[in-house]
Structure 1
Amino acid sequence: MNKPGMDIAFFGSSLVSAYWNGAATYYRGLVRALHGRGHHVRFFEPDAFGRQQHRDIEDPPWAEVIVYPGEGEMHALRMVEAARGADLVVKASGVGVFDALLERALLSLRGPSTRVVFWDVDAPATLDRLEQDPADPFRALVPCYDLVLTYGGGQPVIDAYERFGARRCVPIYNALDPSTHFPVEPQPHFVADLGLLANRLPDREARVNEFFLQAAARLHEARFLLGGSGWENKAMPSNVKWIGHVYTADHNAFNCTPKAVLNVSRDSMARYGFSPATRVFEAAGAAACLITDAWEGIECFLEPEREVLVAANGEAVAAQLEALEAPAARRIGEAAYARVLAHHTYDHRASQLEALLEGRDSAEPARKAA
C-alpha cells in the first residue's frame, strides 16, 4: 500500500504462545505480514490457561504485545479503551476469557475512522453454537460488525453468517509463513513412518482414533509419532509414541523427519469443508509429504495425488502409508512446497485483507481456487 499503514488493535487468544492455542501460527503469520506491509499491530491477549508460562516466542519486533490479567472484567475494559482511535479493531473468536464482554464492548469503538471486525478462527463452532441457541447474545451483535472474517469454511460459512445478518463475510484462509516454517534437517527423535500434531479436543478425538490410531493398529511394523497436549491417559497401539506438547520451534523438524505427516480435521471443520488447518501449510512449507483426511475444497489449496494424499478413513491412511516409497514422498512434499510459496503465503493473505478493506477485492466465489 502506498498510503500510511493502519493502526490495528487485535484482540486474540495469544500471539506469543501456542500452548492450547491452535490459532497462534495463523495470528503470527498474518500479523508479521501486515507489519511487513507497513501496518502497526497492537495484539491484546489475556494471561490465561498457562499460555504466558508456556511461551514459544518473546515479544516480537513486528507487533506490540499487550498482556492483561485474565481475571476481572475491569482489566479487559481498560484494554477496550486503550484500543480507541485505532483504524481497525479486530475481535477474534476464542480469546478464552471475556469473549462476550469484548464482543459487545469493542463495538462501541466503531466510528467514521474506525472499523470493527469480528475474525472467527473457528467459524463452524461459532455457527453451530448460534444455530443451537436462539438466545445467544452474539446473534444480535453479528449485524453490528463492519465485517466478519473467517479463517476457513468457504461458501457454507459465508451463507450461514449472512443468514445471521452479517454485512459481509469473507474467508481469509490459513497460509504459510516462510520465515518460520521451512525445510530443515531431520532429527532422530522425530523418526517415524507417520507423524501427527494434534491437541486432544472433543470434536477431534474420534477422527484421530479413526485416521491415526486405527491406521497404526493395521500397520504393526510401522512407527507412529503423536505430538500434542492431552493424550497422557489415552490407550494407544504399542507402535504409537506420544511425545507431549511440541513447541513451534520444533515443528519444522517434526514435519521434515517422518516419511509422511497426517492432518486430521476437527468434526465441524470437515463438515463445512474449505477449512485447511494451519498444520496443512506448516507441513507443506517444510516440504513434508502430507496425508490429509478428506474434506471438500482440498483441491483449491493442494492438488490431490500430486501435492497431497487424501484419505477417506484410517484404512486408506494405512494403505497409502504402506505403499508410499521415500522418493514419491519427497516428490509430493516438494510439489506442495512450491504450490504454497507461489499462492498461499501470509503475504498473499495480508494483501487480500488490504484489498478487501479498500474495496479493491474481486469478491470471487469461495469455491474458486484460493
Structure 2
Amino acid sequence: MRIAFYGSSLLSSYWNGAATYYRGLLEAMARLGHDIVFFEPDAFNRQAHRDIDPPDWAEVVVYENTPGGVARVIARAAEADIVVKASGVGVFDDELLEGAIAAAREDALRIFWDVDAPATLAEIGNQPLHPLRRALPHLDMVLTYGGGPPVVAAYRALGARSCAPIYNAVDPATHHPVVPDPRFAGHLGFLGNRLPDREERVERFFLEPARRSPDQPFLLGGAGWESAALPANVRHVGHVFSRDHNAFNRTPLAVLNIARNSMASIGYSPATRVFEAAGAGACVITDAWEGLGLFLEPEMEILVARDGRDVEEHLLTLTPGEAAEIGERARRRVLSDHTYHQRASQLDRLLKDSFAERRERCPA
C-alpha cells in the first residue's frame, strides 16, 4: 500500500526526537512492501542539520514552510491508500490534519499518529472544538508512540474509533555496540533536548547528582542547554547527530533516560533513547514509570531510579563489569523482543484489518 506520511522530519534529528522512530519503523514497513512518501517542512533549521540523505526506501518531499507549500503537499494525499498525519510537525499542524483528511480518497485509511500522546490529551481534553477533537470522527485510527492502556482508554473516550500504541524499538543495523569514543567519556551521560516539561526532571535526576559528585565527569548532549547553569563537572557537547548515538551510549559507564513530565505520569512510554542505548549494549539508568517491565526487566536489564539519590547510589556501586553485563542483557532482550521489524509486522496487521473494516463501512 502507498503511505503518505506527514511528519516533523525523517532526515534530521535536530529538535526532533522522533526521527529515529520514524526511520526504523518506516524502513521496516517499506521492507514489507509498502510504498512510503514522507512529507516534512523546511523548518527549525533541520535541513541544515541532516543526519541522513534521502533513503532508498522512501520518497522524501521537503516542502516550503508557507501556506502554498502546505497546500501542494496536502493535495498529494489523494495519491495514497493510507494517509498519516503525525503530531508535532511544528508548523501548520491543524491545516495539515484537516487538509489531509479532506484530500484523502474515500477508500483511503485516515490516521493520526501521536508521538506525544500524554501532552496531546492534556491539551485537547477540555477543548471540544480543538481541531483534533473535531477530526476524530473522521479518522479510522489513532496510533501512538506510547502511553499504553491509559492513552488508549482516553482516546476512545474522546471518540476515537480505534487506538493502538506502536512502541519504540531498535534497528540492529543502526544501533549496535561500537568502540568507545573519547569524545563521549564520562561517568554518566544524558542525551536529550532542553524542553520545558522535562527540565525540572533533568535537574532532579541528572544535574543534582552531578553537583553532589563534583569529582565525577558527567556528559550532557542535546540542543538548548547552552544557556543553562551547569555544574563544572558537566560537559555539554551540544546536538549529537544520530550517527554518533552509538558512541555516546557506549562510552560512559552508564547513560540516563529521563521521561518528560507527561510521559512519566502516564507511563508505558519508553523513549527511543532506551532502545537505542540498549541496542548499543549500554547500561541504562531510567527514572521510574509504570509499565517499564513490559520492555526491560528492572535491575537486570535496566537500572531504575526514583530520584536523584537513587541515581547517585547506582553510580556509587556500579562497576564497569556490572555495567557491561546489564548492557549485554538489555541488548539481547531488545534484539529478541523489541525490533522495528516486529513493530512493523504488528502495524502491518493493524492496517490490513482497518482497511478491511473501512471497505465494509464504505463499499465502492
Give the TM interval when normalised to the shorter protein: over 0.9
From 3, 28, 42, the equivalent of 1:33 is 28
The runs of at least 4 consecutive aligned structure 1 residues that moved more than 6 Å come to none
Matching of residues 1-370 of structure 1 within 5 Å: 6-71=1-66, 73-359=67-353
AA aligned to 1:138 is: L
| Maintained 8 Å contact 1:91/1:118 | yes
* Kept in 1: contact 2:301–2:329 (CA 8 A): yes
User: How big is the shift at 1:229?
Assistant: 0.5
> Does the CA contact (< 8 Å) of 1:193 and 1:223 recur in 2?
yes
Q: Distance in 1 between matches of 2:5 and 2:326?
A: 36
C-alpha separation in 1, matches of 2:55 and 2:123: 34
Q: CA deviation at 1:359?
A: 2.5
SS in 2 for 1:83: helix
Match of 1:365 in 2: none
Please give the alpha-carbon distance, in whole angstroms, between the structure 2 residues aligned to 1:89 and 1:337: 34
- Aligned AA (1:107): I
Unaligned runs of 5+ in 2: 355-364
Q: Which residue identity lines up with residue 40 of structure 1 in the other structure?
A: D
Amino acid across the alignment from 1:193: H
Q: Is the 8 A contact 2:78 2:105 kept in 1?
A: no
Q: Is the 8 A contact 2:80 2:104 kept in 1?
A: no
> 8 Å contact 2:128–2:134 — kept in the other structure?
no
Q: Summarize deviations over 1:305-352 as a string: whole Å, max 9, x none.
A: 110000000010011011101111011000000000011011111000
Number of paired residues?
A: 354
- Measured in 2, the distance between the counterparts of 1:134 and 1:41 equals 33
State TM-score, norm by structure 2: 0.95
Q: Note the alpha carbon deviations across 1:166-224, whole angstroms, 9 max, x for none.
A: 00100000110111111000011111010000100000000000000011112222110
- Aligned 8 A contact 1:85 1:109 in 2: no
CA–CA distance in 2 between the matches of 1:29 and 1:177?
Answer: 6
Secondary structure of residue in 1 paired with 2:149: helix
2:19 partner letter: A
* Distance in 1 separating the partners of 2:62 and 2:159: 32
In structure 2, give the amino acid aligned to 1:256: R
Whether contact under 8 Å (1:178, 1:345) holds in the other structure is: yes
- 1:139 and 1:359 map into 2 onto residues whose CA distance is 24
Question: Equivalents in 2 of 1:357, 1:32: separation in Å?
Answer: 16
C-alpha distance in structure 1 between counterparts of 2:264 and 2:109, whole Å: 31
- List per-residue Cα deviations over 1:120-161 (Å, max 9, x = no partner): 001111101002434322211112100000010001101110
Displacement after TM superposition at 1:115 (Å): 0.5
CA distance in 2, matches of 1:185, 1:137: 48
2:31 partner letter: G
SS in 2 for 1:203: helix
**What is the DSSP-based 3-state SS (H/G/I as helix, E as strand, rest coil) of the residue aligned with 2:78?**
coil
Q: Is the 8 A contact 1:109 1:116 kept in 2?
A: no
- Letter of the 1:142 partner, please give it: L
CA distance in structure 2 between the aligned counterparts of 1:182 and 1:293, rounded to whole angstroms: 23
CA distance in 2, matches of 1:27, 1:347: 13
Which secondary structure state, in structure 2, belongs to the residue aligned with residue 65 of structure 1?
strand
Aligned-pair CA distance for 1:77: 1.6
* Unpaired segments ≥5 residues, structure 1: 1-5, 361-370
2:353 alignment partner, SS class: coil
Instruction: State the secondary structure of the residue aligned to 2:56.
Output: coil
| Partner-residue secondary structure (3-state), 2:125 | helix
Distance 2:234 2:136 in 1: 44
The letter of the residue matching 1:155 is P
Q: Tell me if structure 1 keeps the 8 A contact 2:41–2:65.
A: yes
Distance (Å, rounded) in 2 between the aligned partners of 1:133 and 1:193? 45
Give the TM-score normalised by the residue count of structure 1: 0.94
SS of match in other structure, 2:175: coil
How far is 1:87 from its partner?
1.1
Deviation at 1:74, TM superposition (A): 2.3
